[in-house]
Chain A
Amino acid sequence: MKKYDVVTTISYPVKGAMGKTGNWRVFKPILDKKKCVKCLRCWIYCPEATIIRNKDDTVDIDYVYCKGCGICANVCKVKAITMEREAKKK
């Protein structure tokens, strides 16, 4: 990666530049692998690149960085992803 000798408002791509953003999550996406048809819409739409695409086009979710926005669940055509509250109410 090319680095520039300047102090200004630019930043370089690194994983988790803002820390472990998974702890921002209120709702957690739960994937039902039995329903998944490998269409990869979740992988395309995830704004944080936290859908991990495996070699056989199955997917996993990176919970360390997933902020729980719910876009993956929304775009999933077969409703294989559901959003569940992180912590149960007391």
Chain B
Amino acid sequence: MTSIMIDTGNYIAAKAAVMAKPDVVAAYPITPQTTLVEGIAKYLATGEFKGEYICVESEHSAMAACIGASASGVRTFTGTSSHGLLLMHEMLHWAALARLPVIMCNINRVVGPGWNIWADENDSISQRDTGWIQFYCSSNQEIFDTVLQSFKLGEHQDVSLPVMISYNAFILSHTSMPVYVPNQKDVDDFIPKRKPKWELDVNNPITFGNIILPHEYEKVRKEMQKAQENAKKLIPQISEEWKKKFGRYHGDLLELYKCNNVDYILLSMGAIGSESKVAIDNLQKNGYKVGLARVRTFRPFPKEEVLKLGKKADLIAIDRNISIGSEGALFSELKASLYQKSDAKVHGFIAGLGGKDVTFGDIEKMCKKVIDGKAKDMEWFGLEGV
């Protein structure tokens, strides 16, 4: 029986994680992730979570503990945010190179200095090259569904990579929304028991992380790339299976919204992605031919799907991040996806850094500026005092 739970993004993520029945959760609290791990601790107290909860002294240790547990063949989960994620950086590479499917929620928060706990995607964007699969969610329901889908995806034999599920600080992490929660039996049927690609076993001793010579190391990287390509094929399948089983769907690699017969397509991620839907409704009502493609997975990046969009429309990117010295990360990816295959124009906006609100009105303004031919290639939206 499906029930409805009204709660914040973090408590919803905790519920989803516990329903996946991880054997080990190792975590360290950090605002705005705190209530996520607090939620799991609550389920430990009530007996609903039957795994091992390891309280560690830092995020580096949290990820190291998850890696150790995952290497022994069990299911693991953790959560972090911003500086916590950055402290994990080295261990993120370890998990991915060792092909260990650690599942982790990251609550997108500003990176300091300048102590600021609001939404900004620079924390996870700066981890994009670690080999982790990256999802960006736009509602609490999507957080719930994506956490459970991620266990199936990450632990799949053709993938075996860690998965990061990101969602915006406070806008989702601390905002209550109603979420459909399926019954445990159906979730159990959806996620098979983990079959590790390799495991540390005293009866079959092997070494993990030993010396590796150049020609062997290259192969490891190539296999990781292949696994991400496999994930690209599996994500649509898993989303489809979820839809059939539970009736909900948030798109596959992209979520297309009103993209038929348009001249422009807006691409955005996270909470700005759901806000964009309101903007698109208003713009289309007023005769602007612009649709939305919300990016769900940043790694693997949906190059082929973006190219399809770029063959029928010009693209607009909104980035809640910036690769300093270059441009918004999504903006770069869009242009790379079209390179030599499409002449579509691409415009990029940097918006909402430091947790600044990005409203549907703001998104409409950005789109109108492009459609009216007044936008530069790359712009900072609504920068005060400029």
Contacts and interface: CB of A to CB of B under 8 A. Distances in A.
A9 B97 contact: yes
Given A11-B210, A18-B211, A6 B204 contact: no
B324 interface: no
Given A7-B220, A8-B98, 9 more contacts: A2-B201, A4-B197, A6-B99, A7-B223, A9-B209, A9-B210, A10-B208, A10-B210, A11-B212
A1 B97 contact: no
B6 to A, nearest CB: 42
Given A4-B198, A7-B223, A8-B99, A13 B206 contact: yes
Contacts of B207: 10-13
A5 interface: yes
B197 A8 contact: yes
Interface string B198-234: 1001001111111110000001101100000000000
Contacts of B209: 9
B206 A9 contact: no
A18 B219 CA distance: 19
B381 to A, nearest CB: 43
5 contacts: A5-B197, A6-B99, A8-B198, A9-B210, A10-B210
A21 to B, nearest CB: 12
Given A1-B204, A2-B204, A18-B211, A9 B220 contact: yes
B49 to A, nearest CB: 29
Interface string A9-49: 11111000010000000000000000000000000000000
Interface of A: 1-2, 4-13, 18
Contacts of A8: 97-99, 197-198, 220, 223
Which 7 A-B residue pairings sit nearest by Cβ, starting from the closest?
Answer: A4-B198, A6-B197, A2-B204, A7-B223, A8-B99, A11-B210, A11-B207
A13 B223 contact: no
> Which of A1, A8, A18 has the most CB atoms of chain B within a 10 A radius of its CB?
A8
Interface string B119-151: 000000000000000000000000000000000
B160 interface: yes
A13 to B, nearest CB: 6
Contacts of B206: 4, 10-13
B160 A6 contact: yes
B204 A9 contact: no
Contacts of A11: 206-207, 210, 212
A23 to B, nearest CB: 17
A9 B219 contact: no
A12 B223 CA distance: 19
A19 B186 CA distance: 53
A79 B219 CA distance: 48
A6 to B, nearest CB: 4
Contacts of A7: 219-220, 222-223
Contacts of B220: 7-9
A1 B204 CA distance: 6
Nearest to B219: A7
B223 A9 contact: no
Given A11-B210, A18-B211, A6 B205 contact: no
Nearest to B221: A7
Contacts of B208: 9-10
B292 to A, nearest CB: 38
Given A1-B204, A2-B204, A9 B212 contact: yes
A9 B197 contact: no
A9 to B, nearest CB: 5
Nearest to A8: B99
Nearest to B197: A6
